[in-house]
Amino acid sequence: MDFIQGEVLLVDKPYGWTSFDAVNKLRWHLKRHLNVKKIKVGHAGTLDPLATGLLVICTGKKTKNVEGFMAEEKTYTGTFLIGKTTPSFDLETEFDHTYPIEHIDPIALTSVAESFTGMQQQIPPVYSAKQIDGKRAYELARVGKVVEMKSNAIEIKRFHVDASRFPEVDFEITCSKGTYIRALARDFGQACGSGATLIALRRTHSGNFSVSDARSVTDWIQAINELTTPIL
């Protein structure tokens, strides 16, 4: 492998890591083992710390392909908890409200999921990396400031739900760049006449790349070590 000329590394990001944690860890090992002061390393689409799964990381000249990879559709699997909400729409923050769920049945859940397919406007979560007046939205939200988020155009191409573990609802969704699954949890819960929180999320595909072909960060570090000679 030629990391300077450029490689595409498919990483299975672990729970609790930021996308930049994975990038920085691999960059450090590449610099050490290639004996270079700088090497370009970037990812093609952020995964939240509480999400796992496919993270496409490019090195060297392949970083020029990052924007193209980011523009491709993504597929996720995960779980919504119906009837409870948090400020961040996931488990990063504590539950703050409880809503009725007795009126919801599997047929209704399937119908609601189908209603979300197609082009639409989505308001990103306040707890997101969106830039607001030069600062990340989540930085403002965490200090209690009111943040007004502008909607983005997205497309949901496929949205399948499985209510066999209700009030936990498992899902698989294929969507466009810029789709926030946490925001979808919020909107899905509201459309059900209740509330919802994203309690599990895993990215399985990004364009033609699959998580089944990905390696853990540890495995990639081992591969780097085996292919190069460290400079002590």
Neighbouring-strand partners of residue 172: 77, 160
* DSSP line for 193-229: TS-EEEEEEEEEEETTEEGGG-B-HHHHHHHHHHHS-
Which position among 2, 21, 48, 219 bears the catalytic label? Answer: 48
- Residue 92 · residue 193 · CB < 8 Å: no
Is residue 48 flagged as an active site residue? yes
Backbone Cα Rg of the chain: 19
Q: Give phi and psi for 82, each to the nearest 5.
A: -85, 135
Tokens of 208: 């033609």
Contact assessment for residue 154 and residue 146, using Cβ atoms and an 8 Å cutoff: no
Say how far apart CA 58 and CA 63 lie, in whole Å. 5
Give the C-alpha separation, 67 to 140, whole Å: 27
Please report the beta strands in the chain, taking only residues with DSSP state E, as ranges in sequence order.
8-13, 41-43, 52-59, 74-82, 84-85, 97-98, 118-122, 131-132, 135-136, 152-165, 168-175, 196-206, 209-210
Catalytic residues: 48
